[in-house]
Amino acid sequence: MTSRKNGTRNSPRKDGIVSHKARGFSLLETMVVVAITLIAACISFITLQPTLKQAHANAAVNESFMWMRQYRQRAIDERKRYIITFTAPQTIQISRWDFALPVSPAPVVLYTETLPPDVSFQVLAGVPGGATPDAFGTAARAIDFGQGIGLGGLNYVVFMPDGSVQDLVGNLNSGVIYMGRNADLYSSRAITVYGATGRLRGWQLVNQGGAPTWVQK
């Protein structure tokens, strides 16, 4: 005889059955979910690769631009001279050059920085030599300051208290630096500096109408 308590019917058969929902996922179902997740992650990684590569090139030019702008401003604020030297493949060195009479002391190195590991100072094959950033040089050198001073090719700039950029003997020193990732033409970036005013400009190489063209960032 079936017992009843508080209007509830106890059934040994029904109470012993566990619903499908209560059992959770089976091993096969879990493996399918994991496989789908891995496939989605791989697709996302592959899709993001070009963006990540461009991000490294942008980080390199932004870092170089930041050092140049910062120490130009410090030269003005502190009434001192600061030298930034660029050495291939990836080194940026900042030095302070104090004034003194009758002879100024040797520059003092303050910092040495490096570009991201997959970006270096270089002119990649395919970079146009006839339409260079601010028309400086012919893209024959990755580091090409000293425009208008002999044959160019200087690897440094001296920021002066009046905001101008000179070489070590007082000539106005304009020029350009190039950087990019190996075998990746459109990772090319550049920075130009105009000696008389210390004006800085950042540049990016883009594909315009099927031709590599420099545009200001």
Average pLDDT over residues 28-35: 77
H-helix or E-strand containing 83?
Answer: strand 81-87
Judge whether residue 19 has pLDDT over 80.
no
pLDDT tens digits, residue range 117-136?
999 999 999 999 999 999 99
Strands 8-9 and 156-159: what pairing?
unpaired
Q: What is the pLDDT of residues 53-63, one digit of tens each?
A: 688 899 999 99
Residue 85: which residues within 8 A CB-CB, separation 6 or more?
Answer: 92, 93, 95, 155, 156
Per-residue pLDDT band at 46 (split at 50, 70, 90): low
Question: What CATH number belongs to 25-216?
Answer: 3.55.40.10
pLDDT tens for 136-171 read 999 999 999 999 888 889 999 999 999 999 999 999
Q: Give me the residue spans of the domains in the chain.
A: 25-216
* The pLDDT value given to residue 1: 47
* Minimum mean pLDDT range among 22-36, 141-155, 185-199: 22-36
**Cα 123 to Cα 143: distance, rounded to the nearest angstrom:** 9
